[in-house]
Structure 1
Amino acid sequence: MSRLKEAQKSSKGAAAYSRYINRPLGRPMAATAYALRMTPTQVTIVSAVFTLTGVALIALLPPTVWSSILIAVLLVLGYALDSADGQLARLTGTGSLAGEWLDHFFDSIKLATIHLAVLVCWFRFFDLPDGWLLVPLVFAASANVFFFGIIAADFLRRVHRLEHPHGPAEAPREAWRSGGLYSLAVIPTDYGFLCLVFALLWWQPVFVGIYTALAVINVLMLLLAALRWYRSIRGLAADV
């Protein structure tokens, strides 16, 4: 556990749940996996099993208090294990491009399915006008575009560093994005916070209200992030 504490990646820019709850929760899981001689890839697969089981239950089970809690627990554990695989890789020095790809692959699956599962749940079990079904569709589109934007920006920065190893250094991350207030402000975009919200799936008006608010906020945050990513990538090209 002491070695894992020193093997954490930077918390700069991380939302509060991921920063203060998910990574500490994933630490004992990574330590357990290390003691069991599991590989990071095996932990990734276990994480996917927990997450995708929770996603499936959203669409399959009528929302009750107990089914909602079960779904939230499965999603929370899946997300914590998603952190544990990276911590285990850093602890053992066994990180690889294949492992990184597999991690992103399962991330894209959960983002492509969790909001569609909400769509099925609302259609099957909720008494809502048809227009409300657009909310999970918009949320699904926003989440997937956001994920692509992050991955594509990171990929292009890596390519730029390889092509111009002696070029100007990238601008440091803004100091305000490292603080606790920023991590609290971006909680609505945190997948971990969304996992907790599913504990309220049984309470239709409250869940619909919170979920819709999160969808709207995420769309607005996507627009702001897209502008920032574009300026960042354009700035790299300008430095060449």
Structure 2
Amino acid sequence: MPVTEMSRTSRIRSNVAALSAAQKPSRGTAAYSRYVNRPLGRRVAAVAAAFGVTPNQATAVSATLSFSGLLLLCLADPSLGVGIAVSLLLAGGYVMDSVDGQIARLTGTGSRSGEWLDHTVDCFKTCSFHLAVLISFYRFPPVEPEWALLVPVGFQIVDMVTFFGLIMMPLLRQGTPAPSDDLTPENPLRTWAILPTDYGIFCWVFVLMGWPTLYFAGYTALFAINALVLVVVLRKWWRELKAMDR
């Protein structure tokens, strides 16, 4: 093996070890992100950093994969093959969404502009995801009733409000003690209970596109669960903020 190849292999191994020791807290993270996406992102980041990939380049790859998947969803006649391709592109984009931050931590190249770019791409993705489903449902109805078009509309609202809350709450918490829930040990079942709210699960629902009725049922079930969780979380956030006011 050439010396340069050996040194790069050694660098990748040291990158994996360094990233394993410098992970973000996993508390409150759903199982897919915790056990699939972050570990995959760690390994991809270790390789990418060894080849000189920057965090912003990783963000650009994430955006390209994600929006390619959404474009395919809008344009292609649904089938099993199309569904698998859409899921792979979206899941790949999600992995790269983890990679940019891990490269930044590994190389010490984090920046406000990079964080802004990452969150802006996330916002575009959140705004576009269920709109792409809506377009697909309109062009290629998975079920007959027209009210089915309301499901992605409702899911879009739920997702946007959730995204806003996840961005806003840390800003409002600045300078205040951590919520009491964050100081108690996490229930080991919680990461699995919130699995339906994980973006990674959204990515893979499209593998059901070969069976339209099942695909619609799965997507609708995710919407219903996420809407219910949002109601619970909004109540929790409101009570937390009222306690801060006192």
> Normalization by structure 1: what TM-score?
0.91
Q: Unpaired runs of 5+ in structure 2?
A: 1-15
Report whether the alignment pairs 1:129 with 2:129. no
SS at match of 2:165: helix
Residue 145 of structure 1 is matched in structure 2 by: 161
CA distance in structure 1 between the partners assigned to 2:233 and 2:178 by the alignment: 18
CA distance in structure 2 between the partners assigned to 1:190 and 1:174 by the alignment: 23
What is the number of equivalent residue pairs in this alignment?
Answer: 229
Deviations 1:88-146 (A, max 9, x none): 11111222222222111111111111111111111111242111100000001100110
Residue 165 of structure 1 is matched in structure 2 by: none
Q: Indicate the percent of aligned positions where both proteins have the same amino acid.
A: 44
Q: Unpaired runs of 5+ in structure 1?
A: 162-167
SS at match of 2:189: helix
Residue 172 of structure 2 is matched in structure 1 by: 156
Letter in 2 for 1:198: F
Report whether the alignment pairs 1:184 with 2:192. yes
CA distance in structure 1 between the partners assigned to 2:152 and 2:62 by the alignment: 23
| Correspondence 1:43-192 to 2 at 5 A | 43-126=58-141, 127-158=143-174, 161=175, 169-172=177-180, 173=182, 175=184, 178-192=186-200
Residue 11 of structure 2 is matched in structure 1 by: none
SS at match of 2:22: coil
Residue 164 of structure 1 is matched in structure 2 by: none
Deviations 1:189-208 (A, max 9, x none): 10001111111122101110
> Normalization by structure 2: what TM-score?
0.89
Letter in 1 for 2:217: G
Residue 203 of structure 1 is matched in structure 2 by: 211
SS at match of 1:169: coil
The Cα of 1:174 is off from its aligned counterpart by 5.2
